[in-house]
């Protein structure tokens, strides 16, 4: 289906309490599958900052690869979610990780015209090559 698992579905839709319940009952925060790749990428692409925080606090791999965006930072950058981008970078997301249609988060944000995200990524060391 569209989502690889229930956690990814709840994360994509921003249902923080459902995400918490699923994780508390043993859902794997790093499980792969579905169009987004994993729950973190789903939440990041939709700008659900609180869900992203919850997943990060539960030990999700912020640099996991997969899905249509390649990684969570690319997903948030491509969609212009500045606060999610900041959170991911602060939690160790690789600003130069490769993946997705545009190649990396900076290229995606630039292509989509998200100026503040571009500035943030450059300030955090993203390479514009």
Any idea of the CA torsion for 101, 106, 110, 113, to the nearest 10 degrees? 100
Domains and CATH numbers, the chain: 6-123 (1.25.40.20)
Instruction: Return the biggest CA–CA distance within the chain.
Output: 44
As a whole number of angstroms, the distance between CA 54 and CA 68 comes to 22
Half-sphere exposure of 125 (CA within 13 A, CB side): 8
- SS3 assignment, position 98: strand
As a whole number of angstroms, the distance between CA 28 and CA 95 comes to 25
Cα 125 to its chain centre, rounded Å, is 18
Position 129 scores a pLDDT of 74
> Mean pLDDT in runs of 10 for the chain (129 residues)?
92 98 98 95 98 98 95 98 98 96 96 98 93
Q: What is the pTM of this model?
A: 0.96
């Amino acid at each position: 289906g569209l989502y690889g698992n229930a956690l990814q579905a709840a994360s994509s839709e921003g249902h923080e309490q459902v995400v918490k319940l699923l994780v508390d009952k043993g859902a794997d925060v790093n499980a792969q599958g579905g169009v987004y790749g994993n729950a973190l990428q789903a939440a990041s692409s939709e700008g659900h900052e609180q869900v992203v925080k919850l997943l990060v606090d539960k030990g999700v791999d912020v640099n996991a690869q997969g899905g249509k965006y390649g990684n969570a930072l690319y997903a948030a950058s491509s969609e212009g979610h500045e606060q999610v981008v900041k959170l991911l970078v602060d939690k160790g997301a690789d600003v130069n990780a490769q993946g997705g249609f545009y190649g990396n988060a900076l290229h995606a944000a630039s292509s989509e015209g998200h100026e503040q995200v571009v500035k943030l990524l450059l300030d955090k060391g993203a390479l514009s090559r």
